[in-house]
Amino acid sequence: MSTLDILKLAKDSAPTLASANTNQKNAALEAIASLLVQRESEIIAGNKLDIEAGEKNGLSKGLQDRLKLDSKRINALAAAVREIISLPDPIGDSVSGMTLPNGLKLQQVRVPFGVIGVIYEARPNVTIDIAALAIKSGNAVALRGGTAAENTNKVLVQVLQDGLASAGLPANAVQTVDPFGRDGAVEMMQARGLVDVLIPRGSANLIKTVVTESKVPVIETGDGVVHMFLDESADLDMSISLAVNAKVQRPSVCNALETLLVHEASADRLLPKVATALIESGVTLHGCEQTVAIIKGAVPAIEEDWTAEYYSLDLAVKVVSNLDAALEHIAKYSTHHTESIITNDHENAERFLQEVDSAVVMVNASTRFTDGGEFGFGAEVGISTQKLHARGPMGLRELTSSKWLVRGSGQVRS
């Protein structure tokens, strides 16, 4: 069986899934959640093979963390699937409607895309999150989860297919092209007519490759060079808490803090204690000249540090002259994912919210909240950094298109 044969199986299953009612889709999701827990040992065994291979092949610590599944993470995946069950089904929702002067009744309703292709790497949680969202939104899904997670994803795809079949829905609505390696990914990118939309999740290079080489429409998810700006009026305790949480809580994810900007008027007041808390948490600081002068142990930053998505306990730190300088730095180096300002100045907060051009812009909050689960989506497809169709955390509604229903009584156009 070829990649195109597999994609055709997904395409042929899409109409059945699109017409399934909410109860059928929820029954499949409940079966999937239960099977994740029931087959925990099988999932962990497959994941162990991938972890061992990753260590042998020099996979980075950050990617190894993303790759790892343990009992806690598997139960969290099951909980996320059950949260999707509790969410309203968007299919059939009326987006807009009107009655024309000639009596034609127009209604725009949400419909599934059809087949969603997803290309990602070393993130087995994405296999469950995206497939569950696809099922609830009536979409078939074709997955390329990468060689690093191939053993884990093989088990997870079987769980997904078994869950669908147990609810009387087509198991073929979830497919993987992992056995075909990179050639499978390339064929997905060229499979216009079989794949309706393609979503890449992973490194900047992976996303760039998919965006530039795909013939299938792409929803671009971005890498996360995420910024936090400690304004002149920032509270010390809040600055410490938020900077440490944003960097340390889980440094291997795209909403983790990568660059800390500090107003020079507050640098002597804030930076020593914020830096101490970060260093005590294991963070290596890559600082500008002023930062290195203030913080013992900070290493001099180079240009590449301002564009780095570290996936590790490393943090770029720069002292800036004012809010304008912070905004200028963010505009130059941001990947338009998430930026946060810590301030007690209402005018500066509102200006930051208005002028920063990113998918998520925050005031006095940890960047780790940019997440579909935290936003109440149950799970997420990814964080879209583009400006068409969807932006920010993508949930059920972002996996739908729309169509117009026109009801007439014999009208003809004059």
User: What integer pLDDT is reported at residue 18 of this predicted model?
Assistant: 97
The confidence band for 380, taking pLDDT boundaries of 50, 70 and 90, is confident
User: For a pLDDT cut of 90, what percent of the chain falls above it?
Assistant: 85
Q: For 275-330, how does the pLDDT look when each residue is reduced to its tens digit (9 = 90+)?
A: 999 999 999 999 999 999 999 999 999 999 999 999 899 999 999 999 999 999 99
- Whether the CB-CB separation of 174 and 128 falls below 8 Å is answered with no
Domains of the chain: 3-221+381-407 (3.40.605.10), 226-369 (3.40.309.10)
User: What integer pLDDT is reported at residue 357 of this predicted model?
Assistant: 95
d(CA 314, CA 93): 45
User: What integer pLDDT is reported at residue 253 of this predicted model?
Assistant: 87
Residue 144 phi, psi (nearest 5): -125, 95
Work out the average pLDDT over 115-139: 94
The confidence band for 201, taking pLDDT boundaries of 50, 70 and 90, is confident
Please provide the average confidence, as pLDDT, over all residues in the chain. Answer: 94
Q: What is the pTM of this model?
A: 0.80
The per-residue DSSP string of 38-75 comes to HTHHHHHHHHHHHHHHHHHTT--HHHHHHH---HHHHH
Our measurement of the distance from residue 212's CA atom to the centroid of its chain's CA atoms, rounded to an integer in Å, reads: 20
Q: For 234-265, how does the pLDDT look when each residue is reduced to its tens digit (9 = 90+)?
A: 999 999 999 999 999 999 888 999 999 999 99
Work out the average pLDDT over 154-175: 98
- Whether the CB-CB separation of 219 and 210 falls below 8 Å is answered with no
User: What integer pLDDT is reported at residue 388 of this predicted model?
Assistant: 75
Does pLDDT of 391 surpass 90?
no
